[in-house]
Chains A and B, each alone.
Chain A
Amino acid sequence: MATVTFDKATRLFPGAERPAVDALDIEIGDGEFLVLVGPSGCGKSTSLRMLAGLEDVNGGSIRIGDRDVTNLAPKDRDIAMVFQNYALYPHMTVGENMGFALKIAGEPKEKIRERVAEAAKILDLEQYVDRKPKALSGGQRQRVAMGRAIVRSPQVFLMDEPLSNLDAKLRVQTRSQIAALQRRLGVTTVYVTHDQVEAMTMGDRVAVLKDGILQQVDTPRNMYDNPVNVFVAGFIGSPAMNLLQVDATGGTMHFGGAEVPIPRETAEVADKAGRKITVGVRPEDMDIVAEGQGLKTTVNLVEELGADAYVYGTADVDGKPYDVIARVDGRKPPEKGQSVNFAPKQGHIHLFSTESGERLKA
């Protein structure tokens, strides 16, 4: 078990103008499950591969525990990695796959067999130990890949989108299994995904990256409640937060017909940006109000989920059309084509500077 520290770690691919990972600073606690999340090309996989030693580090350093591993070979880092495509050795049986690392480390055969049997039991793979990977289903292969990591009892688990090749149902199931397993083993884990639902449900903490720059590291709850900027606000949460550019004059923000008071500092920032401010409201914080008291929205689509319904509509703010999503009572949803007025629940708005995208006091 160990902590992991990224200290201004930077990766610049040869020939690229912008670093793929730019001065990444994260401290991961002992036994913590940290999820790196972001859109494709944000540098999350590169960060993981830097930690694994599969990618050079061009600046800064990476430490596992107290050891500086920046320039160590992967095999000397005491890590285990689960790959997106599982990367099982096709000519070896499941048991040989799981025991390969131990065999290379020169462990006695007896011990290898014991450890493999143990891992196979944990992962419910006992009856498949003598099979080749090609005789397994996708979910079983995924578990073998996990087993290969577990068998070594490394200091850190690295997982690179291990669920992305599974079908939707299996993914949800495996998601909770991996999270539970990690809690049980207590091994520090860095997990990469592009799926923010995975990030929110699995991680002790979540790190959001964009264009190689770390945006925010926080617990899923805090991340959801207090996104530091417009990008995180829009990325975390499903369906996404409504983000609209609205007028703010004299300490009041105009959300359609609804007038919401904003703090003075925030109003000053808005004044500098031409009395504009970006307001974010989560779909579940949108209330239906009477005509003229909220943002007039034309309903384009209603998704009925039973208990709730999601209303997808278009609203007009200063002549610019915005997509608006709201969660409403599933028993009496508005109809398609209808006009509905939405106002944010009190105390549940997020304000961002229109210029910098940074969070402002609401």
Chain B
Amino acid sequence: MTTTTPEVPATATAPVPTAASVAHQKLTSPWASFAAIIIATLWTIPTIGLFISSFRPEEDVKTSGWWTWFSSPNVTLENYHEVLTGSDTKLATYFVNSIVITIPSVLIPITLATLAAYAFAWMKFPGRDFLFVAVFAMQIVPIQVTMIPLLKLYVDPPFGLPQLAGKFWTIWLSHSIFALPLAIYLLHNFMKEVPGELIEAARVDGAGHVRIFTKIMLPLMAPAIAAFGIFQFLWVWNDLLVALVFGGGNLDLSPLTVRLAELSGTRDNDWQILSAGAFVSLIVPLVVFLSLQRYFVRGLLAGSVKG
């Protein structure tokens, strides 16, 4: 044994920087943080302005810009009082409408999509792949295209089904219809990630599809379902188009957004009320997001298989 191993150059032993690590380094540099702070501040200024305006008395709002508030702070809750209970705005009713619209419009697609996603991911049946592609392909149909056919169906339903027009059902169903393709696709992908051995173990343990779905899949899918739930909630809560079209401008069916749009149309003089109204409609999504956001980061799958 007289051979000598050649000296390995020191640089070769250092880990080769990958594109991801380079990006990570660049994004965590102080300059990047600084830029992010600047952008965030610029982005937030209009919201702050609106927020401050919503607390300013009417005369102030109408005579000076919101930034003058810092020199002459003048706070009132009158705008919120007016917005929520005032006889001609009465946002409280629309607030309730928004909740009545949003909750079923989130629950219906989540329920259907988890069931469908399970079937597409873990049940074998003829035509499965074709159906799955077909469902996902519906994503490409724009909402606007479906409106008139859907309205026709609601007003004049086939097969002697009850007429839905003038009820919340039209809005619930429409939101569900528009959400389902993406929901099924997303949840299907999450479900596919669950190791097959887990399902097989459950089958050997004596669980059928129903038990596997309720006892294994649903708990494991909780983060994904919550994530989708948040998206769908925000989408429905902020939606104007669907509610306006399928609610038919009927005040009993109108959510906050429809009322707010009206306010800005008919009351552009009273925009201290408008700013308060905007914040009323903003509170709920904020609460929902903050209370469910931990599901975004929770890795529930850790530890199921080797790791």
Contact assessment for B302 and A74 in the assembled complex, using a CB-CB cutoff below 8 Å: no
Contact assessment for A132 and B303 in the assembled complex, using a CB-CB cutoff below 8 Å: yes
CA distance A152 to B197 in the complex (A): 19
CB-defined A-B contacts under 8 Å, sample of 11: A52-B200, A74-B203, A83-B200, A87-B195, A88-B201, A88-B303, A88-B305, A104-B211, A105-B206, A148-B205, A152-B205
Question: Which residues of chain B are within 8 angstroms of A134 by Cβ–Cβ distance?
Answer: 302-304, 307
Contact assessment for B303 and A133 in the assembled complex, using a CB-CB cutoff below 8 Å: yes
Contact assessment for B197 and A90 in the assembled complex, using a CB-CB cutoff below 8 Å: no
Please give me the residue from chain B that is nearest to A77 by CB atom.
Answer: B204
Contact assessment for B302 and A90 in the assembled complex, using a CB-CB cutoff below 8 Å: yes
Known A-B contacts A91-B220, A91-B300, A104-B211; A86 and B305 likewise in contact (beta carbons under 8 Å) = yes
Per-residue A-contact encoding for B161-177, CB less than 8 Å = 1, 0 else: 00000000000000000
Task: State whether the Cβ of A122 lies closer than 8 Å to any Cβ in chain B.
Answer: no
| Pick from A83, A105, A132: contact of B201, CB under 8 Å | A83
Number of chain A residues close to chain B: CB under 8 A: 32
Known A-B contacts A90-B220, A104-B206; A54 and B305 likewise in contact (beta carbons under 8 Å) = no
Give the interface of B toward A (CB within 8 A). 195, 197-198, 200-208, 211, 215-216, 219-220, 300-307
Contact assessment for B204 and A52 in the assembled complex, using a CB-CB cutoff below 8 Å: yes
Given A54-B200, A85-B305, A133-B304, 17 more contacts at CB 8 Å? A53-B204, A74-B200, A74-B204, A80-B204, A81-B200, A83-B201, A84-B197, A86-B305, A87-B195, A87-B198, A87-B200, A89-B198, A91-B219, A100-B207, A101-B205, A104-B207, A148-B205
Question: Which residues of chain A are within 8 angstroms of B307 by Cβ–Cβ distance?
Answer: 134
Question: Which residues of chain B are within 8 angstroms of A80 by Cβ–Cβ distance?
Answer: 204
CA distance A86 to B216 in the complex (A): 15
Expressed in whole angstroms, the minimum distance between the Cβ of A99 and any Cβ of chain B is: 10
| Pick from A79, A87, A138, A141: contact of B197, CB under 8 Å | A87
Question: Which residues of chain B are within 8 angstroms of A54 by Cβ–Cβ distance?
Answer: 200, 203-204
Task: State whether the Cβ of A272 lies closer than 8 Å to any Cβ in chain B.
Answer: no
Task: State whether the Cβ of A135 lies closer than 8 Å to any Cβ in chain B.
Answer: yes
| Pick from B204, B208, B215, B306: contact of A165, CB under 8 Å | B306
Contact assessment for B205 and A104 in the assembled complex, using a CB-CB cutoff below 8 Å: yes
Task: State whether the Cβ of A75 lies closer than 8 Å to any Cβ in chain B.
Answer: yes
Question: Which residues of chain A are within 8 angstroms of B220 by Cβ–Cβ distance?
Answer: 90-91
Expressed in whole angstroms, the minimum distance between the Cβ of A164 and any Cβ of chain B is: 9
Contact assessment for B197 and A75 in the assembled complex, using a CB-CB cutoff below 8 Å: no
Expressed in whole angstroms, the minimum distance between the Cβ of A27 and any Cβ of chain B is: 23
Expressed in whole angstroms, the minimum distance between the Cβ of B295 and any Cβ of chain A is: 13
CA distance A357 to B18 in the complex (A): 51
Expressed in whole angstroms, the minimum distance between the Cβ of B296 and any Cβ of chain A is: 17
Question: Which residues of chain A are within 8 angstroms of B303 by Cβ–Cβ distance?
Answer: 88, 90, 132-136, 141
CA distance A88 to B301 in the complex (A): 10
Contact assessment for A85 and B207 in the assembled complex, using a CB-CB cutoff below 8 Å: no
Known A-B contacts A84-B197, A85-B197, A87-B201; A75 and B208 likewise in contact (beta carbons under 8 Å) = yes
Expressed in whole angstroms, the minimum distance between the Cβ of B210 and any Cβ of chain A is: 11
Please give me the residue from chain A that is nearest to B220 by CB atom.
Answer: A91
Expressed in whole angstroms, the minimum distance between the Cβ of B198 and any Cβ of chain A is: 5
CA distance A90 to B195 in the complex (A): 11
Expressed in whole angstroms, the minimum distance between the Cβ of A338 and any Cβ of chain B is: 14
CA distance A83 to B202 in the complex (A): 11
Per-residue B-contact encoding for A110-153, CB less than 8 Å = 1, 0 else: 00000000000000000000001111101001000000100010
